[in-house]
Amino acid sequence: MKREALFLRMHEAMAAALGPSGWWPAETPFEMAVGAILAQNTNWANASRAVANLKGSGAFSARGLCGLETARLEELLRPAGHFRVKAARLRNLLDFVVRELGGDIEALGNWDMTAAREALLAVRGVGPETADSILLYGLGFPSFVVDAYTARICARHGLVPEEAGYDELRELFMDALPADAALFNELHAQFVRVGNGWCRPRGPRCGACPLGEFLP
């Protein structure tokens, strides 16, 4: 089976079992980008508490958060864990938004996708997953997001070797599928949900998994 047909069938199987994902849960592209930084190395529940703190600070804008003292910013980010590291990474992103985008991250949506991705990756603390999340979920670019769930599912289904890196996995989907942001959005979210519910690192529940029929 061709890769495009396989991925679309997997997408349909997950949609039938799970329903719509409604991801990313943010009200604005700026909130989404902030959340992408805070979700690094933690679950969304913890990150969302830190986002709520920022929104309640009265300074929830790129320029406003840049104006907060470091100690205050760190305290607001404490629920997300690694709050000192994340405060530094968030400030780096905020500085980029203010300096290069006039304080409005949505202006990045007017850039060429490749140039926008390179600019985000040049921000210290923004890795490929975070950059692609901002591009896809925040700005509507067709840039597929890869995470540990995607990697585990693809390896267990024999689509890539276990040691496959981020770029190899991203290209697997980018090359096989049409450049459709809505499709990429939902497919990635479905992989996260399946990875959480069935395709676990230990004790995977393959028999009940929505993707069980696709196992080699």
- Contact call for residues 6 and 214 (beta carbons, < 8 A): yes
Distances (CA, A) of 106 to 100, 153, 169, 176: 12, 32, 27, 28
Two structure tokens written together for 18: 């799970």
Q: Are residues 69 and 125 in the same domain?
A: yes
- 136-150 average pLDDT score: 96
Two structure tokens written together for 98: 């203010």
Confidence at 43, pLDDT banded by 50, 70, 90: confident
- 16-45 average pLDDT score: 94
pLDDT of residue 28: 96
pLDDT of residue 77: 97
CA 5 to chain centre: 24
Q: Tell me the per-residue pLDDT of 112-128, one tens digit each, with 9 for 90 and over.
A: 999 999 999 999 999 99
- Could you tell me where the DSSP H helices lie in the chain? 3-18, 29-38, 44-55, 62-66, 70-77, 83-101, 113-121, 128-133, 148-156, 166-176, 181-197
Q: Are residues 69 and 162 in the same domain?
A: no
Q: What is the CATH number of the domain that holds 194?
A: 1.10.1670.10
For the chain, how far is it from start to end, CA to CA, in angstroms?
A: 12
Q: Are residues 133 and 203 in the same domain?
A: no
Count of the separate structural domains present in the chain: 2
pLDDT of residue 95: 97
Alpha carbon distance 102, 106 (integer Å)? 10
**Which domain does 191 fall in, by range?**
3-22+144-214
Q: Tell me the per-residue pLDDT of 172-199, one tens digit each, with 9 for 90 and over.
A: 999 999 999 999 999 999 999 999 999 9
- 106-117 average pLDDT score: 98
Q: Are residues 154 and 88 in the same domain?
A: no
Q: Are residues 63 and 33 in the same domain?
A: yes
Q: Are residues 34 and 81 in the same domain?
A: yes
Q: Are residues 166 and 201 in the same domain?
A: yes
Q: Are residues 45 and 129 in the same domain?
A: yes
Which bin fits 142, alpha (ψ -120 to 50), beta or left (φ > 0)?
A: beta
pLDDT of residue 1: 66
Alpha carbon distance 119, 117 (integer Å)? 5
Two structure tokens written together for 201: 């690192």
Q: Which of 92, 109, 138 is the last residue of a domain?
A: 138
Q: Are residues 164 and 206 in the same domain?
A: yes
Instruction: State the Rg of the chain over Cα.
Output: 18
pLDDT of residue 206: 94
- 154-167 average pLDDT score: 94
Q: Are residues 120 and 156 in the same domain?
A: no
Two structure tokens written together for 47: 């990150």
Q: Are residues 178 and 155 in the same domain?
A: yes
Q: Which of 93, 113, 138 is the last residue of a domain?
A: 138
Q: Which of 138, 158, 183 is the last residue of a domain?
A: 138
Tokens 């004790």 found at? 203
Q: What is the CATH number of the domain that holds 42?
A: 1.10.340.30
pLDDT of residue 13: 97
Q: Tell me the per-residue pLDDT of 69-81, one tens digit each, with 9 for 90 and over.
A: 999 999 999 999 9
Q: Are residues 45 and 133 in the same domain?
A: yes
Burial of 181 (0-12, 13-18, 19+ CB in 10 A): middle
